[in-house]
Amino acid sequence: MILDRVGNATRNIIWGFVEKIILVLLPFVTRTILIKVLGAEYLGLNSLFVSILQVLSISELGLGSAIVFSMYRPIAEDDNNTICALLNVYRKLYHIVGTIILVGGLAVLPFLPKLITGHCPSDVNIYILYIIYLANTVISYYLYAYKAALFSAFQRNDLISKRTTVISLISSLLQITVLLTMQNYYAYVLIIPLATILTNLANAWLAKKMYPHIFCKGAITGEMKEGLKKRIIGLLSYKIYGVIFSSVDAIVISAFLGLTPLAIYNNYFVVQNAIIGFMTILTNSITAGIGNKMVTNNTDDNYVDFKNLVFANGWIVSWFAIFQFCLFQHFMTVWVGKELVFPFVTMTLMVFYFLLPRITTVTMTYKSAAGLWWEDRWRPLVATLVNIIANIILVQIIGMNGVIISTLICTIFINVPWGTYVLFKYYFKRSPMEYFGLILYYTLITSIVGCVTLFICNLLKNETSILYLILKILICLVVPNIMLLLIYKNRKEFSYSKDLAFKILNKYIGKFIGEKNV
């Protein structure tokens, strides 16, 4: 089976954006009301419990990614027996993981008071609340969560996004209603596992309806089992990397610099994380299509596609980075006040903290689609170790800049070259020097265009009003894209991206017009 890669990716992107908007805006409104009605301590409890369970989720080992990758070939070959066997393995493994998280979560219970410093709300029982959050996590592993792998493997993440969006909308409105009428934190928290149950049941029902011929049955071959084991072991290092890498910066800042610098850092990081969340939709939406094409096309054709995607991704990442470079200081001043704004140098480092990992993200996407986790298993562990050591040393020498620079060191000298080497050695089987040249070129162009755009923004009056922020946003919408267009217009990759964009627009605008005329 050859998937409709363009159509599926477009649907995934559109509904992924709708889902992300709902999942960003509604929780923000809900949390704001929670703080106003009950107090910040309740939101702190939520953050603590989520963090504990995120650490326990390491036991998931990246099973979902490994199983989805293993399904690419049998889907392309219409081998339903193998797909059923893989789904059966996935269900069994998820039940084991759910049990591990349940046991590990219960083992944390006696230590909960030691993890809470300062004031704790007197009208709630932290043990009961924690068990509710634990139940919410464990439910997913026992209640049909494994069936979501089918939508990812068949490149139909848009179907998950639709259901998640609707259920998130309903659950958030219920939580807001509960807070405003009952002002009861237990009732507020109980809505979370109820939403999880409803989501899983809805996905299971749709999976049965769309893929009635695929169900949990049979066993995989010894060769496939060995390959799956290698991918899972490789993904474990990614899991450790993801959990530790995302928390070590905050821990070091808090330990060496204090809570106020941590608050400033988090303000910038929250904005970047929201942007990254939207960009992740793009990569997640095309990963299955890339995996399908790796099975059906040769490496030379896929390398051409790879360069085209690197260009398209580079343009998008450049634009977001320039937005941050030109607007961060003004936006932060309007939002949180001048006293909680980084110096210009630190802000610039934060922009590169965003730019460098994101501009090379296509490499990671292809590596994931090719299932090269085993071959890349040591890189995340080495990067994590180096980041921790560099953080502790540099923060004591140059403060906040040292924390950010430690991550840039890992990106420039470990993650990018090592990750690229693995992809080019084991899949493309060619030298990565052309790719390194492209990344350096795109980064240089981004820096130049960013400086020109900032210069134009600074020609405006030095006021921090919302009006001038809007004017700068308009400049950032127009100037960088015009400059990038003039610089890139003669590149082959630009022609490909332009043709693809028009193809998508014509397809869906034509479809919309056709539906309106019926």
Query: Tens digit of pLDDT for each residue in 298-324?
Result: 788 888 888 888 898 889 899 999 999
Q: Assign 57 a pLDDT band (cuts: 50, 70, 90).
A: low
Q: Assign 504 a pLDDT band (cuts: 50, 70, 90).
A: low
SS (H, E, C) 9-37: HHHHHHHHHHHHHHHHHHHHHHHHHHHHH
Q: What is the mean pLDDT of the chain?
A: 78
How far out from the chain centre does Cα 466 lie?
A: 30
Among candidate residues 456, 477, 510, the one where a domain is terminated: 456
Looking at the structure, tell me whether residues 181 and 253 fall in a common domain: no
Q: Assign 71 a pLDDT band (cuts: 50, 70, 90).
A: confident
In this predicted structure, the answer to whether residue 480 has a pLDDT above a threshold of 90 is: yes
Sign of CA dihedral 229, 231, 237, 243: negative
Asked if residue 351 is part of any domain, the answer here is: yes
Q: For residue 516, what pLDDT is reported?
A: 45
Instruction: At 490, give phi and psi (nearest 5°).
Output: -95, 0
Looking at the structure, tell me whether residues 263 and 300 fall in a common domain: yes
The pLDDT tens digits for 106-155 are: 887 887 776 665 566 777 788 888 888 888 888 878 887 777 777 777 76
In this predicted structure, the answer to whether residue 347 has a pLDDT above a threshold of 90 is: yes
List the domain range (segments joined by +) for residue 187. 1-220
Among candidate residues 205, 220, 235, the one where a domain is terminated: 220
Asked if residue 470 is part of any domain, the answer here is: no
Q: Assign 297 a pLDDT band (cuts: 50, 70, 90).
A: confident
Q: For residue 67, what pLDDT is reported?
A: 72
Burial of 292 (0-12, 13-18, 19+ CB in 10 A): buried
Q: For residue 169, what pLDDT is reported?
A: 82
Q: For residue 70, what pLDDT is reported?
A: 74
Looking at the structure, tell me whether residues 203 and 288 fall in a common domain: no
Give the largest CA-CA distance in the chain: 70
Q: Assign 513 a pLDDT band (cuts: 50, 70, 90).
A: very low
**Cα separations (Å) of 115 from 86, 108, 119?**
39, 10, 12
pLDDT above 90: percentage of residues in the chain: 18
Sign of CA dihedral 437, 235, 79, 4: negative
pLDDT above 70: percentage of residues in the chain: 74
Secondary structure class of 260 (helix, strand, coil): helix
Q: How many domains in the chain?
A: 2
Length of the chain: 518
Distance CA 362, CA 376 (A): 15
Looking at the structure, tell me whether residues 262 and 171 fall in a common domain: no
Looking at the structure, tell me whether residues 207 and 350 fall in a common domain: no
Q: Assign 453 a pLDDT band (cuts: 50, 70, 90).
A: very high
Which residue would you say has higher pLDDT here, 148 or 292?
Answer: 148
